[in-house]
Amino acid sequence: MLRSIARDAPDEIWCLGDLVGYGPRPNRCCAVVAERADVCLIGNHDLAVLGRLDVAAFSYDAAESARWTAEVLEPEARTFLESLEPSGEREGVGLFHASPRDPVWEYVLSPPVAFASLAEAPQDLVLVGHSHVALAFGLSEGRLATTSEGTELELAGDRWLLNPGSVGQPRDSDPRAAWLLLDLDARRASFRREPYDVDRTQAEIRERGLAEALAARLEHGV
């Protein structure tokens, strides 16, 4: 994934949260993001692992994974996660783990929610995560659209809400890692996909005794 990003040589890397909570290498994920990302937000799963959200609000498998992650999280990773916030702004772009209305919990998956989110944000361009679904909502177009690899958007003259998708656990039926390349000068966005070693990640999830469903879903991207 990072090799794919490096080929485009972006000026900065932004992470919208949920570094830990599902995957088998929470400490490695935190170390890589701390080293490479210029901006990083905290997500709801990160907050649960830190004990700042009640895991009772999560599904059984997610709650069990959060408990396991909390047990194995090293001090350096914990300190890094504790330093993060669920929202921010960079280069005039609004950044939210979930949404401008609720940076921790709200899923933006429908036009009404996307419209309300943009109405809440002062920025013309908003990035959100949380749903694991790559999508785009243009206010002038008034419609929400999921995206595919190679989708290019011209952002000039409109207000936009974009979700890059998920690096580690996509949920839009494409198991490849998803990310978004932004050219703020040209006002252009490009949705990207990169294959990764799903088999290896599945094996590591199983080795750690985490829920089989967390491993199985990776090959289907759901």
In the chain the first and final C-alpha atoms are separated, in Å, by 19
pTM of the complete model: 0.95
d(CA 128, CA 103): 9
Q: If we measure between CA atoms, which residue out of 112, 121, 127 comes closest to residue 179?
A: 127
Q: If we measure between CA atoms, which residue out of 153, 122, 123 comes closest to residue 136?
A: 153
d(CA 105, CA 53): 11
pLDDT band at 8 (very low <50, low <70, confident <90, very high): confident
Across the chain, mean pLDDT equals: 94
CATH 3.40.50.300 fits 2-219, yes or no: no
> What are the pLDDT digits (tens) for 141-192?
777 888 888 899 999 878 999 999 999 899 999 999 999 999 999 999 999 9
